[in-house]
Amino acid sequence: MFSPRSLVSEGKNLNRLKKSMEWAEGEHHNVNYRNFSGGFFLDPRLPYTVEDCLYIDTTHDLLVLMAGCLYNRVELCQQFDIDPSRFTEPALVAKIYLQEGPNFVNNLNGDFIIVIYESPNNAFYLFRDHLGIAPLAYTITGQSIYFASDIIGICRTFSEGNRINMDPFIADYKVVDMTLTPNEKVLKLKAGHSLSYTTEGVTTKKYWEPEQIKTDKTLTQEQMFSELKSLLNDAVHIRADQRFNAGAHVSGGLDSSLVAVLARKEFEKQSTFYGYSWSPANSIPAINDLDERDLVKQTCEMAGITPVHIHVEVDDFVELTKNSLNSFMYFHEEKVLEMAKMHKTNLMFNGHGGDEFISYGSLGVDSDLLFSLQWKYFLKKNPLSGPKKIINYIIFRVLFPAINYIPSSVKKSYDEAMWLFKKPYKKLHQKTYKRYYCYRSRRKYQLGLLYNYHLPERTECWAITGYKAGVQYRYPLLDKRIVEYILKVPSKLLVKDSKYTRIILREISQGLLPEAVRWRLGKKDPAFFALVNSQTKERGLLFINEIANFKANPNLYFVDFDLIEKEIKRYKEDEKYPSSNKLFGDILALKALHELSKSYAESIKE
């Protein structure tokens, strides 16, 4: 917390904020310096020290508080002629800041929150990393600014008993503004933004501008493959902190599999490297369905990874739903963290962000090829042997997005998902909605994905739950250099043939992944969904008699309980009720939201 004036009256709020963020293993460290007061938590299961988080330069009267990591530390020390052995990361930030001022952040590559307090000028700054991997939220009360990496903690601290804004928790049902928090008074600092509190007041600034990147028309496909392969290898390498015991998520897909394999190479001296899979061990997919667990097994055998699969029983959801606030309803990842704790894995590599950039599909590619009259590449991707497919693509993937027309079938699909919502709460956030469906180019679509801020949703949640479980996550596919590189790639270089998209990772994974993984089409995991489908009814039946409790919860204000009760009555009266899985899946979701909001509304023990 920072205030340009005395901090005497702020102790109660700071103590509540601290209490809202506590967990059993967390060790709190107070920080009080001039007009700054606060602290940070360390977890003994992670290798961080106080010096990794805090630096005070008494000569220049400057404080730096930091969470996260700088991955280009070596380059920064070379660029600014700094001896790396003499400086911790917060000290390095302080030295560069003193040379560059607030623009120092443009030199960084990392997942970070950086707080700088410059006492002589009574100036305070917050910086959040380019992609928003590290979470950061703040609120202003009077002349004081409070901030925290635990978004739920700070929202609860300043909730004052007000109704929760549930939109951040129901994004699976509707398009929402992903920059909002459960507390309207608390704001997220957006990815790639900074905040300053000086004598001129409080201002936020967008310091990263990927929209300024120009398409490089001189690039060749071979050059692109070669340079991105080097970038990806380095992105994994600089995140491979050898102080940790590492593991990775592994699926039958390209993104997580390649990241896991490259991470294993970086930790070759580690005797056992676990690959954690969401494909349940206790699932039985249909006979003719692909079993993703077989692909996981092939990848792990090839790379020297020990595969482990989650195990999910129906009764597990009694406890899983009770912990919904802490897990952000990522129930299957909670199972992964349980296994990671048992294995003492405290660094988890993940392929999140690949679909949006280096492992991108085809939305906007056809637009680029047609509007730039690159018929050769368009027909290579869409051969004349499939005229109906070509017409369909031109209408639905080129024409409609270009004229900002969203087919009614899209809205209808959202309405069907929101069947249990009251009408006023079925409205979609239009700015985000249009970014998903209205574009004239691949580049505009990808920039829209950045500015919808849906990528940080997972990283924010997992940063909080992971840290409290003694685990840090790493997302090498969201290295800012990779994102910037993809934005300069001409769409014609993403065309291989009419069958395969996502060609970059397919090409650069040669020799690293099994061929069955490299050339797999589709992403659906039959083992995962077979278990979900077989258990959904039983999961919902666990909580079907709690509807009255849900109905009495003021924070489930958006739910039409009369309609749900009507559907439950229909189910009980009709053995052939047609939508039982949908009904019981939503009952499970309501139970999770009910428990989440109950936990959120509990008094903070002071």
* pLDDT digit string, tens, across residues 313-340: 999 999 999 999 999 999 999 999 999 9
Q: Give the whole-angstrom CA distance, residue 343 versus residue 246.
A: 10
> Domain span at residue 592?
543-601
Same domain, 497 and 402: no
Model pLDDT, residue 5: 66
| Lowest model confidence (mean pLDDT) among 126-140, 383-397, 405-419 | 383-397
Say if 319 falls within a structural domain. Answer: yes
Instruction: Give the chain's domain count.
Output: 4
pLDDT tens readout for residues 530-545: 999 999 999 999 999 9
Same domain, 236 and 341: yes
Q: Give the whole-angstrom CA distance, residue 70 versus residue 91.
A: 12
pLDDT exceeds 80 at position 9: no
pLDDT tens readout for residues 67-118: 999 999 999 999 999 998 899 999 999 999 999 999 999 999 999 999 999 9
Q: Exposed e or buried b for every residue in 11-46, given b needs 16+ CB within 10 A?
A: eebbebbbebbeeeebeeeebebebbbbbbbbbebb
Could you tell me which of 134, 130, 139, 135 has the C-alpha nearest to residue 160?
139
Model pLDDT, residue 284: 87
Q: Give the whole-angstrom CA distance, residue 322 versus residue 317.
A: 8
Same domain, 204 and 217: no
- Give CA separation, 79 vs 84, 127, 257, 417, in Å: 11, 21, 34, 52
Say if 27 falls within a structural domain. Answer: yes
Q: 292: Cβ–Cβ under 8 A, 6 or more apart, which residues?
A: 251, 252, 277, 279, 525, 526, 527, 528
Angle at CA of residue 57, ends 52 and 60, nearest 5°: 150
- Give CA separation, 113 vs 79, 88, 128, 473, 555, in Å: 22, 15, 5, 15, 31
Model pLDDT, residue 6: 57
Average pLDDT, integer, range 565-582 = 91
Last residue of a domain, one of 208, 241, 256: 208
Say if 165 falls within a structural domain. Answer: yes
Q: Which amino acid is at 60?
A: H
The total number of residues shown for the chain amounts to 606
Model pLDDT, residue 606: 73
Which pLDDT band, with edges at 50, 70 and 90, does 289 fall under?
confident
Average pLDDT, integer, range 47-58 = 97
**Collapsed DSSP state (helix, strand, coil) of residue 422:** coil
Say if 516 falls within a structural domain. Answer: yes
Same domain, 40 and 180: yes
pLDDT exceeds 60 at position 8: no
Contact 168, 96 (CB under 8 A): no
pLDDT tens readout for residues 402-448: 999 999 999 999 999 999 999 999 999 999 999 999 999 999 999 99
Average pLDDT, integer, range 546-574 = 97
**CATH code of the domain covering residue 496:** 3.40.50.620
DSSP code for 124: E
Average pLDDT, integer, range 269-281 = 97
Determine whether 200 is exposed, middle or buried from the number of CB atoms within 10 Å of its CB (0-12, 13-18, 19+).
exposed
Q: Give the whole-angstrom CA distance, residue 523 versus residue 529.
A: 12
Determine whether 205 is exposed, middle or buried from the number of CB atoms within 10 Å of its CB (0-12, 13-18, 19+).
middle
Q: Give the whole-angstrom CA distance, residue 505 versus residue 503.
A: 6
**Collapsed DSSP state (helix, strand, coil) of residue 485:** helix
Residue 578 bridge partners (DSSP): none
Say if 536 falls within a structural domain. Answer: no
Same domain, 49 and 110: yes
DSSP state letters, 378-407 = HHHHS-TT-HHHHHHHIIIIIIHHHTT---
Q: 12: Cβ–Cβ under 8 A, 6 or more apart, which residues?
A: none
Same domain, 354 and 373: no
**Collapsed DSSP state (helix, strand, coil) of residue 417:** helix
Same domain, 381 and 408: yes
Model pLDDT, residue 605: 80
> How many Å separate Cα 332 from the centre of its chain?
15
Model pLDDT, residue 533: 92
Q: Which amino acid is at 205?
A: K
Contact 213, 443 (CB under 8 A): no
State the chain's mean pLDDT as an integer.
95
Which pLDDT band, with edges at 50, 70 and 90, does 260 fall under?
very high
Same domain, 125 and 188: yes
Q: 347: Cβ–Cβ under 8 A, 6 or more apart, which residues?
A: 241, 244, 245, 246, 247, 471, 472, 474
Model pLDDT, residue 473: 98
Average pLDDT, integer, range 555-563 = 98
Could you tell me which of 73, 40, 191, 204 has the C-alpha nearest to residue 128?
191
Q: Exposed e or buried b for every residue in 478-511, given b needs 16+ CB within 10 A?
A: bbbbbbbbbbebbbbbbbbeeeebbbbbbbbbee
How far apart, in Å, do the first and last CA atoms of the chain sit?
18
Which pLDDT band, with edges at 50, 70 and 90, does 1 fall under?
confident
Determine whether 281 is exposed, middle or buried from the number of CB atoms within 10 Å of its CB (0-12, 13-18, 19+).
middle
Same domain, 517 and 585: no
pLDDT tens readout for residues 481-523: 999 999 999 999 999 888 899 999 999 999 999 999 999 998 8
Q: Give the whole-angstrom CA distance, residue 484 versus residue 146.
A: 32
Same domain, 140 and 240: no
Residue whose tokens read 């004239």:
440
Say if 538 falls within a structural domain. Answer: no
Residue whose tokens read 């595969």:
307
Last residue of a domain, one of 440, 465, 486: 440
pLDDT exceeds 90 at position 578: no
Model pLDDT, residue 522: 85
Same domain, 398 and 305: no
Last residue of a domain, one of 157, 192, 208: 208
**Rounded (10°) angle between helices 221-237 and 254-266:** 50
Say if 606 falls within a structural domain. Answer: no
Model pLDDT, residue 199: 87
Same domain, 247 and 344: yes
